[in-house]
Chains A and B, each alone.
Chain A
Amino acid sequence: MEVSDEALLAGVAGGDADAMAAFVRRHQARVFGMALSVVGVPAVAEEVAQEAFVRAWRHAGNYDPRRARASTWLLTITRNVAIDVLRVRRELATEPVAMAELLMAPSNDGDRVDDADDVTAALRELPKDQAVAVVLSVHFGLTAREIGERQHVPLGTAKTRIRTGLTRLRGILEVRHD
């Protein structure tokens, strides 16, 4: 039987190198994919992904399985590292709106892990502007002001798109999970 992520992280927190190796092997494609989608350059994405795993190792003792799945906890770390890199290395400027649309596109369906099916389908049920605003906020860490600038709408409209989009997603996912 496969060892759960939670058990692996408990081992990592205790300094178990084998547990860490297994954790890296299991999640490296997902972490590298997330990093690449944010920074856009494979060599930089590799640095980001490595740093994300190092931080996961450093903070494994803080992971609380009651609050988040290990995969989303790890992807949150990866997202934060990637955004930090973008803030410093402005030459890596990506086009996040185009990337947000691409992330939800059916052409990427084959590269997603199965547990992403529900949320991907739910995002496609939203009006496109709301779905993009949510992905820009979650995935790229853009503030409402930055999203408004990129979507060419006032700040208030951007805030409403994020809130309404997230709230509708919640409703859709609750129905799917029931």
Chain B
Amino acid sequence: MTEPTRCDGYREGLAEVATGAASGPDRARTLAHLAGCEDCRRELDALARVADEVLLVAPQHQPPAGFESAVLDRIRVEDGSRNPRRAKRKAPAGRRHRVLRPLAAVAAALVIAVAAAGTVWTATAQDRETADRYERTLAVADGRYFTAAPVLDGGVQVGHVFLYQGEPSWVFAVLGEAAPGTYDLVVSTGEWTATVGSCEVAETSCGTGATVAADIGDITEVRLVGSDGTVLTAALPGW
């Protein structure tokens, strides 16, 4: 480590990110540090490879007869049932990644700016440069892509939502300009709606997040619901 004092506070977080068990906020905090620390990125890469090896200790068990054909049947059904809307959304992976790449850079800069200054992000060349480093970090951290959306209150931006596609995927929200109070982070897909976190806006901004059992492309709505009934909605990109 070239900067041991700066990195010391992140080493335990690195281990949990490597094992895939870090909570959303811990993961975001660690990834924000990784954006500017090449040594820790290498460390994470090495630890993640060790964690991968640990998965191998599970003993083998033959599944019940018919397992293979059941899997192939499910794939055939899913493949055949894709309607035009879903087919459009589930573009081939390579194409989807390219489409989202600029968004990833923007989102990365947002996270770093919010973490560093606690303010709403404004675009600068330096931030974009940092974002490029962050994008490389995502690759190390087993992330596939990353996007962001503004949180709006009556058309006025009061925060951001970050959506990270990885193993696992997660959603993280930061509120900076919202009215004081406690807000639940509510995530919806076409199949389920769940409250995945909450945070309290007092004199400072707040952030909350969680892993989600869904591809972020399947998330249809992210809302922050205040204890007084206020609903703040993220303007998600139209994938």
CB contacts (< 8 Å) of A104 on chain B: these are 57
**Complex: A119 Cα to B15 Cα, angstroms:** 17
Whether A139 pairs with B58 at a CB distance below 8 angstroms is yes
- Would you give the shortest CB distance from B213 to chain A, in whole angstroms? 4
Whether A163 pairs with B11 at a CB distance below 8 angstroms is yes
Q: Which of B19, B58, B72, B76 has the most CB of A within 10 A?
A: B58
**Complex: A144 Cα to B94 Cα, angstroms:** 35
Sorting the interface of chain A by its residue count into under 10, 10 to 19, 20 to 34 or 35 or more gives 35 or more
Whether A112 pairs with B57 at a CB distance below 8 angstroms is yes
Q: Which of A13, A113, A134 contacts B56 (CB 8 A)?
A: A113
Chain B residue at minimal CB-CB distance from A141: B21
Tell me the number of A-to-B contacts counted with CB atoms below 8 Å: 183
**What mask results when residues 9 to 39 of chain B are scored 1 for a CB within 8 Å of chain A, else 0?**
0011011101111110010000000000000
Main SS at interface, chain B: helix
**B 60-112 contacts with A by CB, 8 A:** 60-64, 67-68, 70-72, 74-76, 78, 90, 92-94, 97
Whether B16 pairs with A30 at a CB distance below 8 angstroms is no
Main SS at interface, chain A: helix
**A 71-106 contacts with B by CB, 8 A:** 71-72, 75-77, 79-80, 83-84, 87-88, 103-104
Question: With A87-B213, A143-B22, A159-B12 in contact, do A32 and B67 touch (Cβ < 8 Å)?
Answer: yes
CB contacts (< 8 Å) of A142 on chain B: these are 21
**Complex: A76 Cα to B48 Cα, angstroms:** 11
Whether A76 pairs with B20 at a CB distance below 8 angstroms is yes
Q: Which of A30, A61, A141 contacts B20 (CB 8 A)?
A: A141
Whether A28 pairs with B53 at a CB distance below 8 angstroms is no
- Would you give the shortest CB distance from A90 to chain B, in whole angstroms? 14
Whether B61 pairs with A69 at a CB distance below 8 angstroms is no
Q: Residue B50 at the A interface, CB < 8 A?
A: yes
Whether A166 pairs with B59 at a CB distance below 8 angstroms is no
- Would you give the shortest CB distance from B144 to chain A, in whole angstroms? 6
Beyond known contacts A46-B67, A71-B56, A169-B53: 18 more, CB 8 A cutoff = A21-B68, A29-B63, A30-B60, A33-B60, A36-B61, A42-B64, A49-B63, A72-B56, A80-B167, A104-B57, A119-B56, A119-B57, A120-B56, A139-B54, A141-B19, A142-B21, A143-B23, A144-B16
Top 6 closest pairs, chain A to chain B, by CB? A61-B93, A111-B59, A72-B52, A116-B56, A32-B63, A84-B213
